[in-house]
C-alpha cells in the first residue's frame, strides 16, 4: 500500500505577531498552534511527518512528538524553497503521496486531510489543492480556473484587479505525488513580486504540461484560516474553544454559557458535570462525573474526582477526591491533596498539604506543608506558621483533632489524634493525643473600665 508523508511548513518569522517567540508556538486553548496541525495529521493516519523549521526552530522542536523528523530552512525564500529542504527526507520514500500543510493553520480537521488524500488517490491526480470560498478573500492566493478546471494559483501581490475579485482561495494545503515533487522542486523560479520560490508554481507547471490537477473545496471555509497576527489568533481560539465545548456537550457535559467557558484541548470531563460561566479548565486537568464547577473558577493541571463542587476558586496541580466541596474563594496551590468528603470553605489557602477524609477547613485559614488526618476540624482564622525565614517546616494533625479559631501552629509541630486547641492559642510544642492545649495570656478583667476611660478621656 502506498505511503503518505506529510510536510509541515513552520519556518516563517511571523513578524506580524510582534513577538519574541515563533508564531507557531503561540497558544490556542492550551496548545501551541502547531500541535493542532500535528494532531490532525496523526489522526489522519499519515506514515511520517517532516517539519520544516527556521527562526528559533530549536524552541519549536521541544513541543514536537519524537516521531517527527525536523529539517531547517535557514533562509526565508518562500514555500517552495521550504519544501525543498524536506527533499532529502522524501528521498527515503520509494513513492506514495505527500501532504503539505502550514504550521499556522490549527483549524484543519483530520477528516479534511483524509478526504483530500482520498480524492487525490481516486482521481489519479499528480497534485490536489485544498480550496475554500471566503466572504473576504484578502490576503490569500486565488484559484484561477479555466474551461478544464484549475489553471493556476496566483498570490495576492501578483494578482490583477480582476483576479483579486475571485472568492475561491488557496487553503495552503496540498496532496502531491512524491515523484512529482522530487522532479519539479528544483525547477522553481523566484521571478515574482516577492522574489520567492512559490510552491504554487508546481501546480502551474503541471497544468501547462496537461498533467491532472484536482481541487477539493472545504465545506467549512474557517478551517483554512491562517494565523498571522494576534487578532486572528483570538478568532481561531474562539472557534477551537467552541469545538471543544461542543464535543464535551455531546458527551454529556452541561455548559451553561459556552461563550464564557474556557476548556483547553486535552482536558477530560465526566458525564453530568455542570460548568458554569467563567470556568477555566486548563492544561492536563481531569474532571469526574456529576461535578459542579464554577461560576468563576480556574483549575490548572489538577485531578478532580466525581461529585465535587467548586465555586469561585483556583486550583493548581491539586488532587481532589470524590464528594469534596471547595469555595467560595479558596486557593489550592501545588501539592494540595484532598481525600473523600473534605470541605474547604471561603478564603482558605492550602499549599503542599494532604487533608484526610471528612476533614473541614471552613474559612479564613492558611494551611501549608501539612498533613491532616481524618475528621479534623480547623477553626476560622487558623494558620500554620510553616516558614521561619530560612526553611519550611511541617505540621501534622492527627485524626479527629479540633483546632480552635484563630490558632497559630508554629511548625514543626504535631497535634495528636483527638487533641483540642483552645481558640486564640499560639502553639509551639507538640500536643499529645486527647489533650487540651491552651496557649494564650491569662484573661484579666479591669472593673469599671468604661467609667474610668470616660473620666480620663479627651475634654
Q: What pLDDT does residue 455 have?
A: 63
pLDDT digits (tens, 9 = 90+) for 50-63: 999 998 999 999 99
Distances from the Cα of 2 to the Cαs of 10, 83, 124, 216, in angstroms? 26, 21, 13, 21
Q: What pLDDT does residue 148 have?
A: 86
Tell me which residue of 98, 134, 125 sits closest to 113, measured CA to CA: 98
- More confident of the two residues 156 and 34: 34
The helix/strand count (H/E) of the chain reads as 10, 39
List beta partners, residue 368.
Answer: 351
Is the separation of the CB atoms in 383 and 369 below 8 Å? no
Alpha carbon distance 407, 412 (integer Å)? 15
Alpha carbon distance 150, 128 (integer Å)? 10
pLDDT digits (tens, 9 = 90+) for 333-347: 999 999 999 999 999
186, pLDDT greater than 90: no
List beta partners, residue 141.
Answer: none
Write the class of the CATH domain 4-224: alpha beta
Alpha carbon distance 326, 355 (integer Å)? 13
Instruction: Count Cα neighbours of 389 within 13 Å in the Cβ-side half-sphere.
Output: 0
What predicted TM-score, i.e. pTM, was given to this entire model? 0.91
pLDDT digits (tens, 9 = 90+) for 207-261: 999 999 999 999 999 999 999 999 999 999 999 999 999 999 999 999 999 999 9
- Report, as an integer, the average pLDDT of 288-293: 98
Which are the contacts of 388, defined by CB distance < 8 A and separation ≥ 6? none
Q: Percent of the chain scored above 90 by pLDDT?
A: 85
Cell numbers of 458, please?
A: 479627651
Report domain extents, the chain. 4-224, 253-437
Alpha carbon distance 36, 25 (integer Å)? 11
Dihedral, CA atoms, 4, 132, 194, 38, nearest 10 degrees?
A: -40
Alpha carbon distance 345, 313 (integer Å)? 10
- More confident of the two residues 331 and 440: 331
Alpha carbon distance 336, 73 (integer Å)? 46
- Report, as an integer, the average pLDDT of 171-197: 89
451, pLDDT greater than 80: no
List % helix, strand, coil for the chain (3-state, nearest 5). 25, 30, 45
For residue 57, report the phi and psi dihedrals to the nearest 5 degrees: -60, -25
Q: Which of 3.10.110.10, 3.40.50.280, 2.160.10.10, 3.40.50.2300 would CATH assign to domain 253-437? A: 2.160.10.10
Band (13; pLDDT cuts 50, 70, 90): confident
pLDDT digits (tens, 9 = 90+) for 107-166: 999 999 999 999 999 999 999 999 999 999 998 999 999 988 999 999 888 899 999 999
The H or E element that residue 88 is part of is helix 87-90
Q: What pLDDT does residue 272 have?
A: 98
Strand order in the sheet with 413-415: 268-269, 286-287, 303-304, 319-320, 337-338, 354-355, 370-372, 395-397, 413-415
Helix, strand or coil, per DSSP, at residue 414: strand
Is the separation of the CB atoms in 250 and 268 below 8 Å? no
- Average the pLDDT over each of 140-154, 168-182, 436-450 and give the range with the smallest value: 436-450
Helix, strand or coil, per DSSP, at residue 118: helix
Q: What pLDDT does residue 59 have?
A: 96
Alpha carbon distance 459, 457 (integer Å)? 7
Distances from the Cα of 298 to the Cαs of 88, 241, 281, in angstroms? 47, 16, 6
pLDDT digits (tens, 9 = 90+) for 297-321: 999 999 999 999 999 999 999 999 9
Greatest extent of the chain over all pairs of C-alpha atoms, in Å: 111
191, pLDDT greater than 90: no
pLDDT digits (tens, 9 = 90+) for 365-396: 999 999 999 999 999 999 999 999 999 999 99
Distances from the Cα of 274 to the Cαs of 253, 256, 266, 271, 291, in angstroms? 6, 7, 18, 9, 6
452, pLDDT greater than 80: no
Which are the contacts of 113, defined by CB distance < 8 A and separation ≥ 6? 40, 41, 44, 46, 99, 101, 173
Instruction: Give the chain's length.
Output: 459
Alpha carbon distance 16, 7 (integer Å)? 24
426, pLDDT greater than 70: yes
Alpha carbon distance 72, 315 (integer Å)? 40
Q: What pLDDT does residue 446 have?
A: 82
Q: What pLDDT does residue 190 have?
A: 85
List beta partners, residue 403.
Answer: 378, 421
Is the separation of the CB atoms in 242 and 260 below 8 Å? no
1, pLDDT greater than 70: no
Residue 363 a catalytic site member: yes
Q: What pLDDT does residue 457 have?
A: 60
Cell numbers of 389, please?
A: 525565614
Band (23; pLDDT cuts 50, 70, 90): very high
Options 81, 276, 363, 393, the catalytic residue: 363
Q: What pLDDT does residue 456 have?
A: 63
List beta partners, residue 120.
Answer: none
| Cβ neighbourhood burial of 193 (10 Å; 0-12, 13-18, 19+) | exposed
Amino acid at each position: 500500500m502506498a505511503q503518505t508523508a506529510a510536510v509541515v511548513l513552520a519556518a516563517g518569522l511571523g513578524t506580524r505577531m510582534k513577538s519574541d517567540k515563533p508564531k507557531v508556538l503561540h497558544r490556542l486553548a492550551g496548545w501551541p498552534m502547531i500541535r493542532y496541525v500535528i494532531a490532525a495529521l496523526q489522526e489522519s493516519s499519515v506514515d511520517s511527518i517532516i517539519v520544516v523549521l527556521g527562526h528559533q526552530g530549536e524552541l519549536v522542536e521541544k513541543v514536537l512528538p519524537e516521531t517527527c523528523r525536523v529539517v531547517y530552512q535557514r533562509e526565508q525564500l518562500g514555500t517552495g524553497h521550504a519544501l525543498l529542504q524536506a527533499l532529502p527526507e522524501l528521498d527515503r520514500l520509494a513513492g506514495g503521496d505527500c501532504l503539505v500543510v502550514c504550521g499556522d493553520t490549527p483549524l484543519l480537521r483530520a477528516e479534511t486531510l483524509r478526504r483530500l488524500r482520498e480524492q487525490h488517490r481516486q482521481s489519479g491526480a499528480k497534485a490536489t489543492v485544498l480550496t475554500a470560498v471566503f466572504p473576504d478573500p484578502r490576503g490569500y492566493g486565488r484559484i484561477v480556473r479555466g474551461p478544464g478546471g484549475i489553471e493556476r494559483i496566483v498570490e495576492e501581490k501578483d494578482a490583477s484587479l480582476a483576479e483579486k475579485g475571485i472568492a475561491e482561495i488557496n487553503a495552503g494545503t496540498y496532496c502531491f505525488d512524491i515523484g512529482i515533487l522530487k522532479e519539479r522542486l528544483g525547477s522553481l523560479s523566484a521571478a515574482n513580486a516577492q522574489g520567492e520560490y512559490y510552491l504554487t508554481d508546481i501546480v502551474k507547471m503541471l497544468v501547462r504540461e496537461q498533467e491532472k490537477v484536482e481541487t477539493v473545496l472545504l465545506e467549512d471555509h474557517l478551517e483554512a484560516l491562517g494565523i498571522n497576527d494576534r487578532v486572528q489568533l483570538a478568532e481561531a481560539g474562539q472557534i477551537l474553544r467552541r469545538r471543544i465545548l461542543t464535543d464535551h456537550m455531546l458527551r454529556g457535559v452541561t455548559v451553561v454559557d459556552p461563550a464564557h467557558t474556557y476548556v483547553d484541548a486535552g482536558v477530560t470531563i465526566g458525564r453530568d458535570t455542570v460548568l458554569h460561566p467563567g470556568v477555566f479548565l486548563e492544561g492536563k486537568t481531569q474532571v469526574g462525573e456529576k461535578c459542579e464547577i464554577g461560576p468563576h473558577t480556574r483549575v490548572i493541571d489538577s485531578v478532580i474526582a466525581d461529585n465535587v463542587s467548586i465555586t469561585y476558586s483556583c486550583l493548581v496541580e491539586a488532587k481532589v477526591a470524590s464528594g469534596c466541596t471547595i469555595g467560595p474563594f479558596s486557593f489550592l496551590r501545588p501539592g494540595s491533596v484532598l481525600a473523600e468528603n473534605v470541605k474547604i470553605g471561603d478564603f482558605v489557602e492550602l499549599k503542599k498539604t494532604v487533608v484526610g477524609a471528612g476533614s473541614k477547613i471552613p474559612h479564613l485559614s492558611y494551611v501549608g506543608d501539612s498533613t491532616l488526618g481524618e475528621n479534623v476540624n480547623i477553626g476560622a482564622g487558623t494558620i500554620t506558621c510553616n516558614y521561619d525565614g530560612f526553611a519550611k517546616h511541617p505540621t501534622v494533625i492527627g485524626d479527629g483533632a479540633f483546632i480552635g479559631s484563630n490558632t497559630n501552629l508554629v511548625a514543626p509541630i504535631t497535634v495528636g489524634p483527638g487533641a483540642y486547641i483552645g481558640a486564640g492559642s499560639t502553639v509551639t510544642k507538640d500536643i499529645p493525643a486527647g489533650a487540651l492545649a491552651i496557649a494564650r495570656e491569662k484573661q484579666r478583667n479591669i472593673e469599671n473600665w468604661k467609667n474610668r476611660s470616660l473620666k480620663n478621656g479627651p475634654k
